[in-house]
Structure 1
């Protein structure tokens, strides 16, 4: 089904998950086209909170393109973006279900600014806090992961589920514990580095949570994990991975454990239903330490 060029009115019902995916994919494609048009050899960067947290003018421009297209196609939607924050629902009846798009306009900005092709546009879609669709578009690599209420797709082809390998044979894509957990819990972070080095076959950090989730969903790696994350980084990836047969476990830190998984700050995701115990155990240790320090 193609997307109508006319915007939807507030009185229309919430689109089906497949239609919401089409809306998100349309916005991601426009942003990908913009990014592919850039001269990536001469990119200026700015810093948000530290040298680990950078942004470029193109992150903001990409988000503006995405927001404009989402609002054109679904004017009543809520948008939560990395650069622009929350843009509330507009012109919708109070009792209507809320459609939220979680937007990361360039996930992997450090890679993007350095000239590496490992970055993506990530858009997850939730209806009343339940994830129903997601798209992860790698504009330079020409790869698109997506899912609605059917199977997860890689460039339009269904992803075949597979089992998670045991830890000793597992490839883990992760920056865990990373600089944030290391600053917060330095001793535990040091122990985690040792255990991961010894207990799993290999660990690789790609610099993009969304890409790591997508690659695990595709079965190209066995697991990914992070101890501090935001909803726009993981909403699309969580949905795609689950539709591909994977499993996600999250931890609330000092927040509300009843919140949906994509609003929790820590997670371990595996390519199949089988879990990698060492990763779950390490994240549980982070959880206990956070509660003890509260």
Structure 2
């Protein structure tokens, strides 16, 4: 992965955040927020950010298809592009529910996939300026410093378990059979924050039910390249062209991943 590509994407994300997300942050009018689905909103900032990112990424790498969250929501046929030879994946505003009420965390996620596998990812926090990057086989970086994932060091591992999209019976089973083995913390409702929390030692593990490509492509690669482990509960790799399949574990180390995966495998159906 060329340094020039990396620099161009990072510059685009910073510029987009400044001109769209930060411009509207804590200034949204009522008519600039709408419901996209149950418990899922979209704002004018999502739309403006995706347009700017898509146009910029098309200039950086014209041969790549583009799959943006809002465009795919409007046209389901766009999902088919996730298996293209080369594909940009855009989450223009991750953590929109937080952003819409004027609080952090929120961020931008961009990934580059090749034949359904993520080969590069960028995670940007507009408020702090933190930029996480990863390239397949080349490691993970935070603000230009190479990162090695680390656990929290807590005697009882710290877990952020997302129950938002889990059905009622499975939720009860998770709380009975999995939760007692961990110190539970609230989820940030923002993958652009959750994956860095795991890699940087704030959380040890996280469990996701819904695994859409724009939420997870960049974060999965970032965590794996940092030396943690993110994969399906059965250990199979996450692929962006199979992102509608449920279930994903992120862990600060392979050992922590294996422990949670084993507990899940023994959990009653």
Name the CA distance, whole Å, in 1 between partners of 2:178 and 2:128.
29
Deviations 1:236-294 (A, max 9, x none): 00111111101122159xxxx897267343200111121255642565479x95xxxxx
The structure with the largest helix share of the pair is: 2
Match of 2:95 in 1: 108
Task: For residue 26 of structure 1, report the CA deviation from its aligned partner.
Answer: 3.1
Shift of 1:112: 0.5
Give the counterpart of 1:59 among 26, 42, 46: 46
Q: In 2, Cα distance between the equivalents of 1:259 and 1:246? A: 14
Q: Distance in 2 between matches of 1:268 and 1:132?
A: 19
When residues 202 and 104 of structure 1 are mapped into structure 2, their CA distance, relative to the original with a 3 A threshold, is: same
- Asked if 1:267 corresponds to 2:252, the answer is no
1:152-172 deviation per Cα after TM superposition (whole angstroms, max 9, x unaligned): 111111113335768x52112
> CA distance change for structure 1 residues 214 and 259 in 2, over 3 Å: closer, same or farther?
closer
Residue 280 (structure 1) aligned to one of 237, 261, 264: 261
RMSD across aligned C-alpha pairs, in angstroms?
Answer: 2.8
Q: Does 2:132 align with 1:157?
A: no
Query: Among 23, 28, 48, which residue is 1:42 paired with?
Result: 28
Flag the 1:124–1:282 CA change in 2: closer, same or farther, 3 A: farther
Contact 2:25–2:102 (8 Å) recurs in 1:
no
Q: 1:31 to 1:265 in 2, by over 3 A?
A: farther
CA contact (8 A) 2:5 2:60 kept: no
DSSP-derived class of the 1:274 partner:
helix
Counterpart check, 1:207 vs 2:189: yes
Shift of 1:101: 1.3
Quote the Cα distance in structure 2 between the aligned partners of 1:100 and 1:258.
Answer: 18
> Aligned to 2:128, what secondary structure does the other structure show?
coil
Q: Deviations over 1:99-145 (max 9, x none)?
A: 21111001100000111120010011112222211110010122111
Q: Distance in 1 between matches of 2:149 and 2:50?
A: 32
Question: Is 1:118 equivalent to 2:74 in the alignment?
Answer: no
Q: Shift of the alpha carbon at 1:19?
A: 4.6
| TM-score with structure 1 setting the length | 0.77
Counterpart of 1:22?
7
Measured at CA, do residues 197 and 259 of structure 1 come closer, stay the same or move farther in structure 2, by a change above 3 Å?
A: closer
Mark the runs of 5 or more structure 2 residues left unpaired by the alignment.
73-77
Asked whether the 8 Å contact 1:196–1:203 carries over to 2, the reply is: no
CA contact (8 A) 1:79 1:88 kept: no
Of 64, 75, 96, the residue aligned with 1:77 is 64
Give the total of aligned pairs. Answer: 255
Give the aligned partner of residue 92 of structure 1: none
Q: Is the 8 A contact 1:21 1:147 kept in 2?
A: no
Q: Note the residue ranges of structure 1 that are not aligned, 5 or more in a row.
A: 1-15, 90-96, 290-294
Q: Give the secondary-structure state (helix, strand or coil) at the position aligned to 1:265.
A: coil
Bigger radius of gyration: 1
**Cα separation, partners in 2 of 1:221 and 1:277, compared to 1, 3 Å:** same
